[in-house]
């Protein structure tokens, strides 16, 4: 009996000894447990931030409405298969205090973005942009017709809105010639007036700068007259290298008081009556744009001139040519005398048919 009690006591003492011997290690583990937990959480967060948001998906365009919450945005992306962990993404935005900075509109979402790249796109408005190109030589009517076909562009303008735009920017009621030809990007929900205003401001800025640096001695009194001449040069130009020569012909004709006698102005003045052929009736019909009948420039531009046409109108060549006639391939034959010009007409226009 005593021996059994002794053995039991020895066993208990042995267990206590093992406990106390191992206690420092256990207390050490307990002491560092919060730190280990923080490190573990940090590793999980770091792994999330470095992983693609939805690596198995394809890029998509997703639209977010104005005022949508971070949770709604994350759920919308999750439903589209573009965000695996929407709740984690919302936590990320909240941590960085970015939940109120999300933009509205259409966004092209790349599923290989990290959460940080996704947040950057949604906050700084990398939304989908659509191009609209104003082509050199287009008329205002043609541009308005094409604008009406842009389904992503809000059609907010009417005639009154266009008039107010011109008046507000100090160019008058007629926007013909005032839209700088180039490609403009717009986002869904923007209005056509917003796009046109950018094109108008660009043209005004460029024209003013070129007018300041124009060649001396030009018979042009205002930047607007330069714009009118540039539009004629644009419509007459079939070969880019001839712009200055064509501008030179018109400048010298203006200096000498000669009529410009240019078909594009007649066509513009005919409007809907033009059906591909001017004819004698078109040349004889007096309109403000019939430069076979009037002297000087027409009252307004006849199209949208390019930068190059404006530069040519303000920097014409200094030769002595007063006439030109199309000789094919978009190029012209230039002449200094009427006699030479008539020979060129017979050669290139009235030549006998084979």
Q: Which residue ranges make up each domain of the chain?
A: 50-55+105-128, 130-208, 224-348
41 has pLDDT over 60 = no
Sorted by sequence, the CB contacts under 8 Å of residue 332 that are 6+ apart come out as 238, 239, 242, 245, 246, 324, 325, 326
Per-residue pLDDT at 164: 82
Long-range contacts (CB closer than 8 Å, 24 or more residues apart) made by 36-42: none
pLDDT digits (tens, 9 = 90+) for 102-124: 888 899 999 889 988 898 889 88
Choose from 152-166, 248-262, 326-340 the range with maximum mean pLDDT. Answer: 248-262
Across residues 175-197, what is the average pLDDT? 93
Task: Encode 281-302: b = buried (16+ Cβ within 10 Å), e = exposed.
Answer: ebeebebebbbbbbeebbebbb
Per-residue pLDDT at 94: 87
Q: Which residue has the higher pLDDT, 47 or 329?
A: 329
Ranges 15-19, 69-73, 105-109: which has the least confidence: 15-19
Its pTM stands at: 0.80
Q: Give the separation between CA 52 and CA 112, rounded to whole angstroms.
A: 5
**Tokens at 270, concatenated:** 């005919």
């Amino acid at each position: 009996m005593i021996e059994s009690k002794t053995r039991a006591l020895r066993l208990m003492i042995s267990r206590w000894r093992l406990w106390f011997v191992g206690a420092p290690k256990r207390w050490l583990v307990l002491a560092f447990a919060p730190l280990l937990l923080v490190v573990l959480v940090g590793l999980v967060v770091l792994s999330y931030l470095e992983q693609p948001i939805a690596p198995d998906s394809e890029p998509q365009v997703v639209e977010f409405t104005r005022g949508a919450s971070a949770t709604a945005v994350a759920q919308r992306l999750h439903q589209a298969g573009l965000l695996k962990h929407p709740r984690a993404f919302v936590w990320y935005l909240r941590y960085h205090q970015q939940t109120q900075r999300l933009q509205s509109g259409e966004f092209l979402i790349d599923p290989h973005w990290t959460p940080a790249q996704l947040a950057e796109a949604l906050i700084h408005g990398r939304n989908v942009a659509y191009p609209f190109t104003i082509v050199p030589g287009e008329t205002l009517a043609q541009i308005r017709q094409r604008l009406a076909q842009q389904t992503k562009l809000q059609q907010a303008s009417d005639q009154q809105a266009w008039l107010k735009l011109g008046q507000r920017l100090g160019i008058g009621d007629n926007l013909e010639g005032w839209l700088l030809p180039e490609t403009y990007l717009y986002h869904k929900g923007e209005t056509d007036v917003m796009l046109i205003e950018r094109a108008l401001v660009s043209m005004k800025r460029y024209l003013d700068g070129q007018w300041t640096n124009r060649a001396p001695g030009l018979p042009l009194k205002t930047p607007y007259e330069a714009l009118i001449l540039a539009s004629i040069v644009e419509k007459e130009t079939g070969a880019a290298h001839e712009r200055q020569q064509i501008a030179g012909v018109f400048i010298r004709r203006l200096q000498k008081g000669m009529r410009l006698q240019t078909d594009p102005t007649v066509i513009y003045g005919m409007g809907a009556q033009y059906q591909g052929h001017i004819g004698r009736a078109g040349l004889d019909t007096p309109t403000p744009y019939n430069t076979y009948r009037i002297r000087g420039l027409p009252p307004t531009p006849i199209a949208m001139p390019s930068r190059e046409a404006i530069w040519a109108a303000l920097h014409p060549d200094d030769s002595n040519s007063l006439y030109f006639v199309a000789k094919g391939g978009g190029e012209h034959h230039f002449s200094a005398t009427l006699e030479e010009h008539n020979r060129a007409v017979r050669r290139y226009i009235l030549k006998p048919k084979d």
